[in-house]
Amino acid sequence: MAKVTKEMSILDIVEQCPQSVEIFRKYGLGCLGCAAARFENLEAGAKVHGFDADEMIAEINDLIEE
């Protein structure tokens, strides 16, 4: 599985790594089915919700490597 980047849409990340849903919830992104998840990239979502995109990406990529 390819690594996640902050340029990827939230929906693409969840489709690539369904287990990432728990990490998104941990960071307060519970509405993964909303319209923004389709077009908003992870970096934009991080800015809106006030968390560090790089930290979240590292957690998701660690999950992918498991």
> Residue 28 is part of a domain; what is its CATH number?
1.10.3910.10
Q: What is the pLDDT of residue 34?
A: 73
Residue 31: per-residue pLDDT: 67
Nearest to 25 by CA among 33, 54, 1: 33
- Do the domain assignments include residue 38? yes
Model's pTM, two decimal places?
Answer: 0.83
Residue 5 counted as domain residue: no
Query: What are 7-63's pLDDT values in tens digits?
Result: 998 889 988 999 999 998 898 887 677 777 777 888 988 888 898 999 999 999 999
Question: Would you say residue 36 lies in a domain?
Answer: yes
Range of the domain at 46: 10-65
